[in-house]
Structure 1
Amino acid sequence: MRGGARSWAVWAVGLSAYVVAVLHRTSLGVAGLDAQARFGIGASALASFAVLQLLVYAGLQVPVGVLLDRFGSLRLVVGGALVMAAGQALMAFSDGVGGAVAARVLVGAGDAMTFISVLRLVPQWFPSRRVPVVTQLTGIVGQVGQVLSAVPLAALLAGAGWTTAFISASAAGVFVAVVAMVALHDSPERRISTGEAVTARRLGSDLATAWRHPGTRLGLWTHFTTQFPGTVFALMWGYPFLVAGEGLSRATASSMLTLFVIVGMVGGPLLGVLVQRHPLRRSWLVLGVIAMNALGWALVIAWPGRAPLAVLLLLVVALGLGGPGSMIGFEFARTFNPPNRLGTATGIVNVGGFVASLTTILLVGLILDARTGGRAAYDIADFKVAMSVQYAIGVLGVLGILRTRRLARQRLAAEGVHVRPLREVLAERGWFSAQRLGKG
C-alpha cells in the first residue's frame, strides 16, 4: 500500500543516506579554516575545492538521471554512499592539495548519485497528493546533515583533530550503505527495478524532450536562483564569514548554521502544503523566497561595520528558506514530465542550483584573494564586497524564471489549462480593489 508504514520506513532509509551525503557535502565548509592551515592555501584555492566538488556533482546530474531511469534508486544510493565514504577516508590522510582535490571529486561523484535517487522513491511509494509535502520533507530533513557537520564534525576537528573527524564521516557513509543494501526497495512491487536499456538514440530523445519542455527549464531556473545563496553560505563561505568577518565565536557560528537547517525544516512542509493547494501559483512562492534572500543580504551588507546578532539571525532565517524554495523546481519537473523521463528531468533541474553555487563560491574566493593579496586575513568589508556578487547571479536567475514561466503558461494554455493572472484572483477575493489593481 502506498503511503503506509512500509512506505515511510523505506523513505526513512533513503533519507538517512541523503542526510549523510549532506554531511559529506558540507564538511569542507566547517573545515575551511583548518584546511587553509593544513594545506597552506588561500581563499581562491580553498574555493576551488568546493567548486570542483560541485562541478563534478552538477556535471553528473544528467548522466546519473539516465542511469536512475535504467537501474533504479537502490543501486545508486548504495554506490553513492560508498564512493563518498572513500573520498572522506582519503581526505582524512591527505597532507597535500592533490589528495584533497581527489577526495572532493569522490565526494561530489557520490553525492550526485544520492539526492535524485532518493527523490525518485517518493512518487514510487506515496500517492500523488502527498508527493509535494514528502518531497519537501526529503530535501529539508536531509539538511540535518549540515547540523552533523556544523556541530559534531566541527567539535571533532577542534578536539580529536582532522584525521579522526574525516574517518568518522567516512564510517557514517559505510554504515548507511549497509543499511540501504539491506532495507531499501525501489518500489512496493520490486526490490530492484530495471528500466529499458539505454541507447544513444533513446538517451538523446529523452534529454531533448525533457529540455524542450519549458516546465523543465522553469524547474532548472527555480533551482538555480533559490538554492545557491544557502548553498554558498552552508557549503563554503558562511562559517568563515561569521567567524572571520562578523567576529562570532566558532560555537556561535555553528549554532547559526544549525538555525539555518531548522528554518528549512520548518519552512519546507509549509511550502509543500502551499504547493499542494495552489499548484498554479508555485512560481510566486519561488519569487517570494528569492526576494527574502535578497533583502536579507541587503540588510547585512548595508549595515555599517559588523552587523548585530539580530540582523545576522534575520539573514540566516531568509537563507534557510532557499532550500525549500529550490524543491519547487523538482515539482515542476515531476508535473511536466512522464514517469519514465522523471530521472532525466530531475537531473536537468538539479544542475541549476549547483552551477549557480559553484560559480558564486569561486567568485567570492577570487574577490577575497584580490582584496587581501591571498592572505587568510579577512575583515567585514572584504566579505561585504565579495558577497555582493550574489546579486548578479540572482538577477540572471530571475530573468530565466520569468521567461520560462511565460513559455510554460503558453504550453498549458495550448493544452486547455488557463492560469489566471494573480491580480485577478486577489481582486476577486477582495484583497485589493479592482481600482487599485488597474483595469488592464
Structure 2
Amino acid sequence: MVGGGARLLPSDPPGGRKAIAVWGIGVAVYFVAITYRTSLGVAGLDAAHRFHINASALSTFSILQLLVYAGMQIPVGLLVDRLGAKKVLALGVVLYTAGQFGFAFSDAYGMALGSRALLGCGDAMTFISVLRLGARWFPARRGPMIAQIAALVGMAGNLISTLVLARLLHTFGWTTTFAGSALGGFAVLVLLLLFLKDHPEGFAPPPTPREHSGATFVRRQIANAWREPGTRLGMWVHFTTQFPAMVFLLLWGLPFLVEAQGLSRGTAGELLTLVVLSNMAVGLVYGQIIARHHAARLPLALGTVAATALLWALTLCWPTTHAPMGLLVMLCVVLGACGPASMIGFDFARPANPPERQGTASGIVNMGGFTASMTTLLAVGILLDATGDNYRIAFASVFVLEALGVTQILRLRSRAARRERERLVVSRVEAVHVPA
C-alpha cells in the first residue's frame, strides 16, 4: 500500500534514487534545450543589428523555431511511444547542438533561419521524452510533481540565458558566446549514451505488436488520443496559459521593456530574470497543490489566465507613456505563473489515455501553447511594423488568443470531467482484482 491507501499497481514503478538519477539525465538534456531555445530572447537586438532586419524579420526566427517545434510534437510523441525516450533524446541533442553551432557562425539571415529551424527540431524531441521517462521510472501519483519539477529545471535554463548568456554576449561577442554554449550539448549527449535507460529492470513495457506499425496504426493512435476530451482540454489549457510568458521571454520582452518602457538593458534583464524565478517558485506550489487536490487544476489554470490578462491590460492601458516599475514587477511575477499553469494541461491528458498512448497525447497537448506562441510572435512583429512600433497595439493580440482559449476550455471541461470519472471507476474495479 502507498500514501492515502492507494494500491500500488504491479505496473507502477517504485521510483527511488536510481529513478531520480536516470530521470535527472533526461532533465539535463531538457535544461540545455531550453538554454538554446531562449538564447535569442537576450540577443534579439543584437540579431537585428547583425543581420540588418526589421521587427517582422526578427520575429521570424522564433516563429520558424516554434513552427518546427509545434509541427514535430505529434511525430515525436509517436516516436517516443514506438522507440522509447533514450533514442529520441539522443537524436534531439544532436540536432539542437548542430543548430546552436550553426547559429553561432551564421553571418547571413538565411543561414541563421536554417540553424534555428534545426534547433527547434531537436528541442521538440526533449520534453515529451522527459515526460515519458518520468512515467516509466516513478509512480503515477507522482506525475504532476515530476512534470512541474522538469519544467522548473527547464526554466533554470532560461535563467542561464538571461543571466549568463546576456553578459557573455556583451563581453565576448556573438560567435564565441553561441559556439561556447553549444558545448553543453556534447556534455549531455555523453551522459545520455552512457547512463540513461528507458525503464527500470522488471518494468519493461510489453513488446510492441507487429500490427502496431504503419500508417493505419499512426492514424488510429492520433485519432484515439484526440477523441479523448481530456486530451483536447489539456491542449487548450496549454494553449491559453503558456504563450504570454513564452512570447515575453523568447523575443519581445526585452525590446518592450527597453524601447516602450524606457528601461536600461540591465534593468530589463533583471525583470526577465524575475519572470524565470517566479516560474520556478510557482511551479513548486502548483505541483504540490495539484498532487493533493486534483480538483484544483482548472481553477489554477483559469485564475492564472485572468491574472495575466488583468496585469497586461493595466500595463498597456496605463495613462502615461511608461508604466510604473511596481506594475512591471507585478506583471513579470504573474507571467512567471504561466509556465506552471501550462503544465496542468498534461495533467488532464495523462489520466485520459493509456500508457501506450501517453507520448502521442502529450504531443497533442504540447502543440497548444507553442501554436499560440508562434501566432502571437508573428502578430506582434507585423503590428509593430504596421504601427511604427506601437507596443500597446501589438501586445493587444494577447487578449484575442486568451479569449479563444478560455472559450474552448469552458466548452470541454464538463465532458473531460465526466470521462475522467468513468475511467476512475473502471481503474478502481480493476485494482480490486489485482493481488496485493
Report what 1:22 is aligned to: 34
Report what 2:9 is aligned to: none
Report what 1:284 is aligned to: 299
Alignment gaps of 5+ in structure 1? 373-377, 418-440
**Residues 287-315 of structure 1: CA deviation (Å, up to 9, x unaligned):** 01111111111121121211122111100
Are the aligned partners of 1:185 and 1:192 in contact in 2 as well (CA < 8 Å)? no
Give, as a single letter, the amino acid of the residue that structure 2 aligns with 1:343: G
**Residues 171-209 of structure 1: CA deviation (Å, up to 9, x unaligned):** 111211111111211111289977455321111111101
Judge which range, 100-109 or 173-182, deviates more: 173-182
Judge which range, 4-13 or 51-60, deviates more: 4-13
Q: For the residues of structure 1 that align with 2:326 and 2:269, how far apart are their CA atoms? A: 16
Report what 2:46 is aligned to: 34
SS of residue in 1 equivalent to 2:350: helix
Are the aligned partners of 2:26 and 2:196 in contact in 1 as well (CA < 8 Å)? yes
Question: What stretches of structure 1 move > 4 A for 4+ residues in a row?
Answer: 190-197, 412-417
Does residue 271 in structure 1 map to residue 283 in structure 2? no
Q: For the residues of structure 2 that align with 1:174 and 1:139, how far apart are their CA atoms? A: 22
Q: 1:113 aligns with which of 116, 119, 125?
A: 125
Report what 1:224 is aligned to: 239
Report what 1:339 is aligned to: 355
Judge which range, 401-410 or 146-155, deviates more: 401-410
The verdict on how the C-alpha distance between 1:210 and 1:152 changes in structure 2, with shifts beyond 3 A counting, is same
SS of residue in 2 equivalent to 1:396: helix
Report what 2:370 is aligned to: 354
Q: Percent identity?
A: 49
**Per-residue deviation at 1:3?**
2.2
Report what 2:409 is aligned to: 401
Q: For the residues of structure 2 that align with 1:287 and 1:260, how far apart are their CA atoms? A: 19
Does residue 314 in structure 1 map to residue 322 in structure 2? no
Give, as a single letter, the amino acid of the residue that structure 1 aligns with 2:100: Q
The verdict on how the C-alpha distance between 1:105 and 1:416 changes in structure 2, with shifts beyond 3 A counting, is closer
Judge which range, 60-69 or 25-34, deviates more: 25-34
Are the aligned partners of 2:384 and 2:394 in contact in 1 as well (CA < 8 Å)? yes
The Cα RMSD (Å) is 1.7
Are the aligned partners of 2:352 and 2:420 in contact in 1 as well (CA < 8 Å)? no
Give, as a single letter, the amino acid of the residue that structure 1 aligns with 2:42: V
Judge which range, 223-232 or 197-206, deviates more: 197-206
Are the aligned partners of 2:100 and 2:179 in contact in 1 as well (CA < 8 Å)? yes
The verdict on how the C-alpha distance between 1:210 and 1:309 changes in structure 2, with shifts beyond 3 A counting, is same
Alignment of 1:63-82 (within 5 A): 63-82=75-94
Does residue 234 in structure 1 map to residue 213 in structure 2? no
Q: For the residues of structure 2 that align with 1:321 and 1:230, how far apart are their CA atoms? A: 8
The verdict on how the C-alpha distance between 1:190 and 1:351 changes in structure 2, with shifts beyond 3 A counting, is farther
Judge which range, 58-67 or 261-270, deviates more: 261-270
Q: 1:6 aligns with which of 1, 18, 22?
A: 18
Judge which range, 238-247 or 211-220, deviates more: 238-247
**Per-residue deviation at 1:117?**
0.5
Give, as a single letter, the amino acid of the residue that structure 1 aligns with 2:308: N
Report what 2:116 is aligned to: 104
**Per-residue deviation at 1:400?**
0.9
Are the aligned partners of 1:334 and 1:342 in contact in 2 as well (CA < 8 Å)? yes
Q: For the residues of structure 2 that align with 1:111 and 1:191, how far apart are their CA atoms? A: 28
What is the total number of aligned residue pairs between the two structures? 409
**Residues 30-49 of structure 1: CA deviation (Å, up to 9, x unaligned):** 11100100100000011011
Q: For the residues of structure 1 that align with 2:115 and 2:203, how far apart are their CA atoms? A: 31
Alignment of 1:22-421 (within 5 A): 22-189=34-201, 195-196=208-209, 197-303=212-318, 304-372=320-388, 378=389, 382-412=390-420
**Residues 148-186 of structure 1: CA deviation (Å, up to 9, x unaligned):** 111211112111000011101211112111111112111
Report what 1:424 is aligned to: none
Judge which range, 253-262 or 395-404, deviates more: 253-262
TM-score computed with the length of structure 1 as normaliser: 0.90
